[in-house]
Amino acid sequence: MTEARSSERMRVFLRAQIVFNDNRSTVDCSIRNMSSTGAKLELSQAVTVPGEFDLLIPQKGTRLRAKMRWRTTDAVGVEFIKDTQPVRQPGKDLAGRVRELEIENAQLRLKVLELTARLEQSGTAHPEAA
């Protein structure tokens, strides 16, 4: 099977909420893997989820716009919609912000490794590396 993802996913276990219907409806879920472009969400029950919704991640203090790409009985694959920026929750403590930045740093390091591997595979070397 060909990999359709544009970026590598990191295994995570984060609590989250699917928010829709003008913030009047929520569904609890768990994020099982995540990248800068999407995530796999596990649902504890078979519920109806709209095609587009906000994904609230309290541990990261973010709210991302997501579009459903696939669905099974207990899981949903989503793609984060471009041009949306994470929104920090007001009053987030400094330790939480540091944790958030560490996660972002790890994601960026993975992206750098992925892009470096692609460059090596294509035979294109970085000019400064020569």
Domain boundaries, the chain: 10-124
- Give yes or no for a contact between 36 and 111, defined as CB atoms under 8 angstroms apart: yes
Percent of the chain whose predicted confidence (pLDDT) is above 70: 81
Q: Does domain 10-124 have CATH number 1.20.200.10?
A: no
The pLDDT value recorded for residue 2 is 47
In degrees rounded to 5, what are phi and psi of residue 106? -60, -40
The pLDDT value recorded for residue 7 is 66
Return d(Cα 106, Cα 29) in angstroms, integer: 23
- pLDDT at residue 102 greater than cutoff 90: no
Instruction: Label residue 14 by pLDDT band (50, 70, 90).
Output: very high
Q: Side-chain half-sphere of 116: how many Cα atoms within 13 Å?
A: 7
Return d(Cα 110, Cα 7) in angstroms, integer: 9
Instruction: Label residue 126 by pLDDT band (50, 70, 90).
Output: low
Closest by CA to 8, choosing from 115, 86, 93, 91, is: 115
